[in-house]
Structure 1
Amino acid sequence: MPTHLTRRSLLRGITAATAVATLATGLAACGGDSDAATSTGSASGTVTVGQFSNGAAKETTLKVSEVKSISAELPDAIRKSGKLVIGSGTLPSGSAPLGYVGSDQKTLTGSEPDLARLVAAVLGLKAETKRFTWENLFVGMDSGKVDVAFTNVTDTEERKKKYEFASYRQDNLGFEALKSAGWKFDGDYENLAGKTVSVGAGTNQERILIAWKKKLESEGKKLTIKYFQDNNSTYLALSSGKIDAYFSPNPSVAYHVTQTARTNAPTVNAGTYSGAGASLQGLIAATAKKDSGLAKPLADAINHLIDNGQYAKWLAAWNLSNEAVAKSEVNPPGLPLTDS
């Protein structure tokens, strides 16, 4: 799973996040794809969100039943197979809270596979998850090994040439700050005047932060950007007050906030900003091969979950409520070709 180094590599998919689970030896050694156990819940008609999450999520059991009018929209081959093959681009190391091997050392857990299981339940299908390296995930969709990817894929106009989308989450960056500081990012770069902010070198968020720094300098104001070699060094600087905030992918912030909650230096998500910039809200979407006929039933299933409250509970369990969408859309406007 790639660590994003440029705007282009960011849009390849999964944003950088902290890996928290040690993979079973067989999974870690696998460079292509691997099956992972997928629990759909404790009983028929239920899905347990956050199962085996090792404290990254609040375990929540949700009742979800098949909706016949939606499952009837499925392509015949998938409906007759009785299963939805879900691709997860999380080999080799995993990425919390998006997708990683759980505390039982075998089950793929995370916000993305959990939503996939909820959607599969609405469609009346068994969720079967296959894990891939990021590059091989798309090969898997192209070859028919995978029906749909639920793995933090950004909706882009470039990808629409080969794939179709059903959006389900905002693609946001976040500011992590000490809870005791009481600082909030209000969406305006002016809010950063006088602050010291850490960011990963070569990332999309660095590009945005540097642009803001230049604007502030033109106004006679200062924004200091700090770089560290690894996340541990960054978090140490944050907890000790050497930096005011860390600007990183929002899911990474959401996860780390849960890890600091019971420490002497708890942090908060101090505000978010679209990964696509000020002019467009970036979106994360379920991704299937173009003309597969899956985008509409997927979007309808997600909207059923939204309308009936399970979607909000899924987000809340993973501390991602600030990335909620009001509605799942089929092939909504994506990041433009010039940026993707």
Structure 2
Amino acid sequence: MSTHFTRRSLIRGITAATAVASLATGLAACGGDSDAATTTDNAKSGEVVVGQVSNGAATQTAIKVSEVKSLSAELPAAVRKSGTLKIGIGALPAGFPPLAFTGSDQKTLTGSEPDLGRLVAAVLGLKSEVQNSTWENLFVGIDSGKVDVAFSNVTDTEERKKKYEFASYRQDNLAFLVPKKSTWNFDGNYENLAGKTIAVGSGTNQEKILLEWQAKLAKEGKKVTVKHFQDSNSTFLALDSGKIDASFGPNPGFAYHNKQTAGKPNATRTVGTFSGAGASLQGLIAATAKKDSGLAKPLADAINYLIKNGQYAQWLKAYNLSNEAVAKSEVNPPGLPLDNS
């Protein structure tokens, strides 16, 4: 996978993505070394099927959605005339569930990100064309006009606003993962961690946050033990054997793991989330278009239509991501500041 696809900030960076990528071992197929475009119009008019060929990463769900002419009228003339929304995904060389990955048919790009793009396109009365690339080429594609918009787990940052405009659609969250049988829950307060042993990826944004909490607890005469493992499989084994109480990492990857282990002896659950931007700001994932393209507002309005009419909740539920819901889509909301973006 692209080691930048799950980048929340420059601090979080490569290792956060690596931690999520390892969750996909054995499921996500390689997408190839060059850009690949897939036109993914829905076979049935007025319906988008999310979670197709997702191989257990989602519950396949047929969602009814049709063009809203008052919203499609907001589109820039060139996009409206083309009849197609070119959606960029930065998931090469290998994607990861549940966000974006090659499906079980070994060719279809599936996942929560391209599926939301398809829903938005339907509301705007456009065909959807999903183009997969590396993370770097995703932004090249936006800059050049090869794609209209990225639905690719892109965090809204003040640095990126210099070149792009945003329509938010999902919270950017970290989470704690525990065995399903565990009675512990994270309540959002770092003091809740006292006496626990927590695994975290080295060099990640979540490690930075956890170490800050560890230092605060130490000043209070309390202790949280921080553990590091070489890969996610080792972390999950430690969790299952009781060597650690919880693992702290990107929420979507844990949502996928919960689905994969449901009903099994090693079943897990998520016990609380925390903003990837830290305590002072809720990080947001946003549809990303070229600055001054005129796309952010119609995209946000289409997302808000899906929120108001229930399709948005259906989409999140299908991917076990309901804990990352936003109340509304905003155009260029406050993003990670320049010193942390």
TM-score > 0.5, shorter chain as reference: yes
- Gaps in structure 2 of 5+ consecutive residues: none
Aligned ranges 1:1-340 → 2 under 5 Å: 1-2=2-3, 7-8=9-10, 10=12, 15-16=17-18, 17=20, 18-20=23-25, 21-23=27-29, 27-28=31-32, 30=33, 32-38=34-40, 40-340=41-341
Residue 279 of structure 1 aligns to a residue whose secondary structure is coil
Q: Which amino acid aligns with 2:46?
A: G
Which of structure 1's runs of 4+ aligned residues deviate more than 6 A? 11-14
Q: 1:314 to 1:14 in 2, by over 3 A?
A: farther
Deviations 1:18-42 (A, max 9, x none): 3253436xx32x1x4211352x434
- Please, which moves more after superposition, 122-131 or 40-49? 40-49
Report if aligned partners of 1:42, 1:48 keep a CA contact under 8 Å in 2.
no
Report if aligned partners of 1:13, 1:153 keep a CA contact under 8 Å in 2.
no
TM-score (norm 1): 0.95
CA distance in 2, matches of 1:13, 1:247: 13
Report if aligned partners of 1:192, 1:223 keep a CA contact under 8 Å in 2.
yes
Residue 24 of structure 2 aligns to a residue whose secondary structure is coil
Residue 338 of structure 1 aligns to a residue whose secondary structure is helix
What is the CA RMSD across the aligned residues, in angstroms?
A: 1.7
Report if aligned partners of 1:5, 1:204 keep a CA contact under 8 Å in 2.
no
Report if aligned partners of 2:39, 2:128 keep a CA contact under 8 Å in 1.
no
How far does residue 258 in structure 1 lie from its aligned partner after superposition? 0.6
Q: 1:14 to 1:43 in 2, by over 3 A?
A: farther
Residue 79 of structure 2 aligns to a residue whose secondary structure is helix
Q: 1:62 to 1:2 in 2, by over 3 A?
A: same
Q: Which amino acid aligns with 1:69?
A: S
CA distance in 2, matches of 1:325, 1:317: 16
Q: Which amino acid aligns with 2:29?
A: L
CA distance in 2, matches of 1:90, 1:13: 16
CA distance in 1, matches of 2:314, 2:52: 14
Report if aligned partners of 2:15, 2:202 keep a CA contact under 8 Å in 1.
no
- Gaps in structure 1 of 5+ consecutive residues: none
Deviations 1:92-132 (A, max 9, x none): 11011100001111111100001000000000001101111
CA distance in 1, matches of 2:156, 2:17: 13
CA distance in 2, matches of 1:219, 1:118: 49
Deviations 1:5-64 (A, max 9, x none): 99515369995523253436xx32x1x4211352x4341110001111101111110110
Q: Percent identical across equivalent pairs?
A: 67
Residue 75 of structure 2 aligns to a residue whose secondary structure is coil
Residue 158 of structure 2 aligns to a residue whose secondary structure is coil
Report if aligned partners of 2:13, 2:205 keep a CA contact under 8 Å in 1.
no
Report if aligned partners of 1:168, 1:286 keep a CA contact under 8 Å in 2.
yes
